[in-house]
Amino acid sequence: MMDLFNPDATPGTRSANDGAGGPPLAERMRPATFEEFVGQTDKAGPDSPLRVMLDQDSIPSLIFWGPPGCGKTTLARLIAGITDHDFQALSAVTSGIRDVRDIIGVARQLRQASQRGTLLFIDEIHRFNKSQQDAFLPHVEDGTITLIGATTENPSFSVIAPLLSRCRVVSLHPLNAGDIVLLLDRAMADPDRGFGNLDIGLEDGFLEKVAGLSDGDARRALGLLEECVLLVRGGIQQDGGSQARLMDAGILKQVLNRDHLLYDRGGEEHFNLISAFHKSMRASDPQATIYWLFRMLEAGEDPLWIARRILACASEDVGMADPTAIQVAAAAYQSYQAIGMPEGELPLAHAAIYVATAPKSNSVNIARETAKSAVHEHGSIPVPLHLRNAPTPLMKEMGCGITYHYDHDHPNHFSGQPCLPSELGEARFYKPGSFGFEKDIRKRMEWWDQRRKKPANPDKPEDS
């Protein structure tokens, strides 16, 4: 069992002068009261349902869902400090079902002895598998524990439905830049938990730059600030104190050894961004398309995953309105495989822009769904005899292929013979649109349909 934090303890008081070895700045600056909590006003503000329930000491089981550094663990800690419940904490990363059972046993004994409830905080609850999550159900149901889970993953997919139905989901959002600047300013001013006792100046707009690199993650922002301070202090000590104590863009550039982009290739943000990319191509917006493309590439997304999405859009959303689109997308996929990065970004951008600006039609997709519905509705309709091959004498005796017309023996290579089962009549699955290349396809189909209505005359070829 892992004790994530002690809810009865005051947040760390190590001063910046204490050197390395103590809690990081983000932990030291963790709010000790709701009054210090920044952001999420609609979910944790004075008039929010959560605060009203806390005032009545009637807290339900909760799932805090939000990106890293938005306040999930801090809220659990603040709730633990207010409620009369006993508090226990686990991390799904390091704990197992045995740890859960131990806490449940203690909680049951406590409830029987003193009628006191237990608040169990599970960090990264999405990492527990189905059977581990099942273990909570009866104890949440009978009130032995009040569960607070924290997750960066969509609980609709990562938390089992029975447990989810017994919890209230509180969706948290990334902190805005103003909230983060406020937290950073507090850290620079606090002499006990932050850097208020250090004589370090700030270039105008420095904290705003740090906030802009944090992607709404308070922990990341405070970590960046701490690295900058340590770098400045190190320079001051090496220079005997004569160097100017100023944190500026140069210091920040030295600290940043990679782009700080919010991205999880296996999580929610991965699907959010690929969705935005596909929908921008579908919406014929090349500017948004190219932005989302490089947002993913710069964050480390698999380029071939992106190439497959371009292929999907070329077929699903462009379709027969521009049949060349799928060829361009396939060529981009192969080009990337041939040349790799960074040059491989160019064929991906080429294909994405082509698909975004191509005429759109989903008629092929509609034809697919309509045909599948007909298959399921009518079942396994026998293939008409004239369309069957007759490789054996018995099959010829059955009439297979006898009335088949070889189209190339007819004028314009067209016999007009029916190819759908009679049960389907004159069903229309593919209906071309009136935009792009489908205008030509519509004309072609209308020409063939007119020929079907005329009896074929093998001695008089028609003009094409």
What CATH number should be reported for the domain holding residue 434?
1.10.3710
One-letter amino acid of 276: A
Residue 211 lies in a domain: no
Are 52 and 159 in a shared domain? yes
What is the pLDDT at residue 100?
83
Contact at 8 Å (CB) between 243 and 252?
A: no
Contact at 8 Å (CB) between 108 and 74?
A: no
Are 44 and 164 in a shared domain? yes
Rounded to the nearest 5°, which phi and psi values hold at 90? -135, 155
Per residue in 147-200, pLDDT (tens digit) is 999 998 888 888 999 999 989 999 998 899 899 999 999 999 999 999 988 888
Are 84 and 165 in a shared domain? yes
Residue 116 lies in a domain: yes
Residue span of the structural domain in which 339 resides: 268-357
What is the pLDDT at residue 182?
94
What is the pLDDT at residue 433?
80
Q: Is the pTM of this model over 0.75?
A: no
What's the domain count of the chain? 3
What is the pLDDT at residue 239?
53
Specify the pairing of strand 145-151 against strand 201-202: unpaired
Span between the terminal Cα atoms of the chain, in Å: 80
One-letter amino acid of 108: R
Residue 52 lies in a domain: yes
What is the pLDDT at residue 264?
55
Are 337 and 443 in a shared domain? no
Residue 336 lies in a domain: yes
Are 394 and 291 in a shared domain? no
Residue 180 lies in a domain: no
Domain with residue 152: its CATH number is 3.40.50.300
Residue 242 lies in a domain: no
Are 397 and 348 in a shared domain? no
Q: Alpha-carbon distance 48 to 79, whole Å?
A: 14
Q: E strands along 133-216, which residues?
A: 145-151, 168-171, 201-202
Are 50 and 158 in a shared domain? yes
Q: Which of 109, 141, 171 is the last residue of a domain?
A: 171
Contact at 8 Å (CB) between 144 and 150?
A: no
Instruction: List, as own/partner pairs, every contact residues 407-415 make where C-beta atoms lie below 8 angstroms and the sequence separation is at least 24, other chains included.
Output: 409/458, 410/456, 410/458, 411/456, 411/457, 411/458, 411/460, 411/461, 411/462, 412/451, 412/461, 412/462, 412/464, 414/448, 414/451, 414/456, 415/456
Residue 177 lies in a domain: no
Are 60 and 113 in a shared domain? yes
Q: Which of 137, 171, 205 is the last residue of a domain?
A: 171
Per residue in 332-391, pLDDT (tens digit) is 999 998 888 888 899 999 999 999 999 999 889 899 898 888 888 888 888 888 888 888
Are 346 and 404 in a shared domain? no
User: Which of the residues in the chain have pLDDT under 50?
Assistant: 1-20, 242, 244, 258-259, 458-459, 461, 464
What is the pLDDT at residue 63?
93
Domain with residue 341: its CATH number is 1.20.272.10
Residue-by-residue DSSP string for 28-94: HT--SSTTT--S-HHHHSTTSHHHHHHHTT-PPPEEEE--TTSSHHHHHHHHHHHSSSEEEEEETTT
What is the pLDDT at residue 186?
94
Residue 229, token pair as written in the block: 């301070």
Please report, for residues 24, 78, 230, the alpha-carbon distance to residue 234 in angstroms, rounded to integers and kept in the order given. Answer: 17, 35, 6
Are 336 and 439 in a shared domain? no
Residue 251 lies in a domain: no
Are 412 and 352 in a shared domain? no
Q: Which of 171, 200, 219 is the last residue of a domain?
A: 171
Are 329 and 439 in a shared domain? no
